[in-house]
Amino acid sequence: MKIKAPKDFWAGLMFLAFGIGFAWAAQSYQMGTAVRMGPAYFPTMLGGLLAVLGLVVFVKSLLLSGERVSHFFLKPLLLVLGGVVIFALLLRPLGLIVATFALILVAALGGYDFRIREVIILYACLAVFAVLVFVKGLGLPFTLCPGALDEACQRIVAGSR
């Protein structure tokens, strides 16, 4: 069998997998009856429907020709999402100021024309902006600096209110 419509082929598989996955996972909950539906009833219905639709898309992709899947750009994908994950991991332990640096640096590596000086200036501006607007202005609770430094940082930010 030849794949004639790669975009639909993979989309069909994706829907099929999600459909079966949800329907299967739902089986650990109570099904109930049509009158008193349990937590498994609606997801099982939807999962089944999704799997059927996925199958239709999948089969169609083998019969009718369609578009090819364009190239996956791994560099921006990994570095943008990677930067965000690192930000999330550093935010609590090391604080907003350090986490922001990691995010900006890693994400900037994901684009074209990486210029280190520009990135550092951008970081400095964003860090000041974020602290002033979100922490001081809107009062969102953030750790600012790592460890013992944080208390001092918070006091400085709050003090200049």
Partner 1 sequence: MGELVSNLSLGFGVALSFTNLLYCFMGVLLGTLIGVLPGIGPVATIAMLLPVTFTLPPVSALIMLAGIYYGAQYGGSTTAILVNLPGESSSVITALDGYQMARKGRAGPALGVAALGSFFAGTVATFIIALFAPPLAEVALKFGPTEYFSLMALGLVAATVLAHGSLIKAIAMVILGLLLGLVGTDVNSGVARFNFGMSELSDGINFVVVAMGMFGFAEIIANLEHREKREVFTAKIEGLLPTVQDIKDCVPAVLRGTMLGSALGILPGGGALLASFAAYTLEKKVSKNKANFGKGAIQGVAAPESANNAGAQTSFIPLLTLGIPSNPVMALMIGAMMIQGIAPGPQVMTERPQLFWGMIASMWVGNLMLVILNLPLIGLWVRLLAVPYRILYPAILLFCCIGVYSVNNQTFDIILTCVFGLLGYVCVKLACEPAPLILGFILGPMMEENLRRAMLLSRGDPSVFVTKPISAVLLGIAVILLLIVVMPAVRQKREEAFQEA
Chain centroid, CA 120 distance in Å? 25
Q: Which is nearer to partner 1, 130 or 157 (by Cβ)?
A: 130
| 76 interacts with partner 1 by CB under 8 A | yes
| 95 interacts with partner 1 by CB under 8 A | no
**What does the buried/exposed string (b/e) look like for 46-75 if buried means 16 or more CB atoms within 10 Å of the residue's CB?**
ebeebbeebbebbeebeeeeeeeeeeeeee
| 63 interacts with partner 1 by CB under 8 A | no
**CA–CA separation, 86 and 22 (whole Å):** 29
Task: Name the helix (H) or strand (E) containing 153.
Answer: helix 149-159
Could you tell me how many residues of this chain bind partner 1 (CB under 8 A)?
A: 69
Cβ atoms of residues 104 and 123 within 8 Å: yes
| 85 interacts with partner 1 by CB under 8 A | yes
Q: Which residues bind partner 1 (CB under 8 A)?
A: 7-8, 10-11, 14-15, 18-19, 22, 25-26, 29-30, 33-39, 42-43, 46-47, 49-50, 53-54, 56-57, 60, 67, 69-73, 76-77, 80-81, 83-85, 87-89, 91-92, 100, 103-104, 107-108, 110-114, 118-119, 122, 126, 130, 134, 138-141
